[in-house]
């Protein structure tokens, strides 16, 4: 699931940053790690920047489940 990936990505990113900060890596690995870190940042930022959420209601009729937008959501919006 994507939710797992976000957390993993953050952990990985954190590890990379720490390693980079320690400054003990060979150049190739450092640059590779940097690229990887940038990718992870892009990924995490994207995950956080998904804007519109969906608020739906679950409907069950005769064993079939459907969803429809939740009507009252508007009440909540500022």
Residues that bind other proteins (CB under 8 A): 1-4, 6-7, 10, 13-14, 16-17, 20-21, 23, 25, 27, 30, 34, 37-38, 41, 44-45, 47-58, 60, 65, 67, 70, 72-73, 75-77
Contacts of 37 (CB under 8 A, 6+ apart): 13, 16, 17, 20
State in angstroms the smallest separation of the CB of 65 from other proteins: 5
State in angstroms the smallest separation of the CB of 68 from other proteins: 10
φ, ψ for residue 64 (rounded to 5)?
-105, 135
Q: How far apart are CA 56 and CA 63, in angstroms?
A: 18
State in angstroms the smallest separation of the CB of 38 from other proteins: 7
Place of tokens 């957390």: 7
């Amino acid at each position: 699931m994507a939710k797992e990936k976000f957390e993993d990505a953050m952990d990985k990113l954190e590890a990379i940053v720490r390693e980079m900060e320690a400054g003990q890596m060979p150049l190739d690995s450092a640059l590779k790690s940097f690229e990887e870190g940038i990718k992870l940042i892009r990924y995490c930022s994207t995950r956080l920047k998904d804007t519109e959420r969906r608020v739906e209601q679950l409907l069950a009729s005769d064993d079939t489940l459907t969803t429809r937008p939740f009507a009252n959501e508007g009440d909540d919006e500022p």
